[in-house]
Amino acid sequence: MTDFQAWWNTVNNDLGNQDLQVEAKDWQFLYWRSKTPAQAVHHIQNYLETKKIADKYDKWDLRFLEQARVISTWSKDPSTKCGAVIINPQNQKVVGVGYNGFPRGMSDAQELYDDREIKYSRVIHCEMNAVLDAGHAAVGATLYTWPFMSCDRCTVHVIQAGIKRCVAPIIPADAYSRWGPTVEKSRRYLKEANVLLDELDLGL
């Protein structure tokens, strides 16, 4: 019995002998990445969940949401890091990006972010920064936001900028307990303005 066969027998037993729909090209990567069968089970379960999401949604939507996620990490906000990407849907070209932060030329010292009152007074949300970055290119564009859809104040500016479609992960239950009222306003405003909203269930 080869090392791979022994590895697979253990993994398959731990997974309950499921009929796993894993592409052949990915088995070698999973085997190489997993030092133990337990790690393999974890990686395979993640692989299957990711594949399920990839099969369910448009690949470009997932790519631009991932880009918005990466951009969100640039924020210094210790509470909620948000990212936005605006694209031209005709050619999939990025025309604007943004994350939540303070205006250029102003101090972005961490202690200013740590004081909630000061932070709220100075911060520009990711959508607003992306709209400013895009300029006239926002007209007819698609907006991607992370980790969930825009607040109501940003939404009215998004509508006014001419954006015609918004894409975001469905807001998780814990975040909805805090942001629920503003999310519901945003949903109503987008519907009223005939802006398409797609909220994707990414299992967050």
Contact between 101 and 129 (Cβ < 8 Å)? yes
Helix (H) or strand (E) holding 159: helix 152-161
- CB-based contacts of 17: which residues, under 8 Å, 6+ apart? none
49: annotated active-site residue: no
- CB-based contacts of 62: which residues, under 8 Å, 6+ apart? 53, 54, 200
Among 127, 184, 192, 199, the one annotated catalytic = 127
- φ and ψ of 39, to 5 deg: -65, -35
Question: Strands (DSSP E) along 44-162, which ranges?
Answer: 83-88, 93-99, 142-146
Active site residues: 127
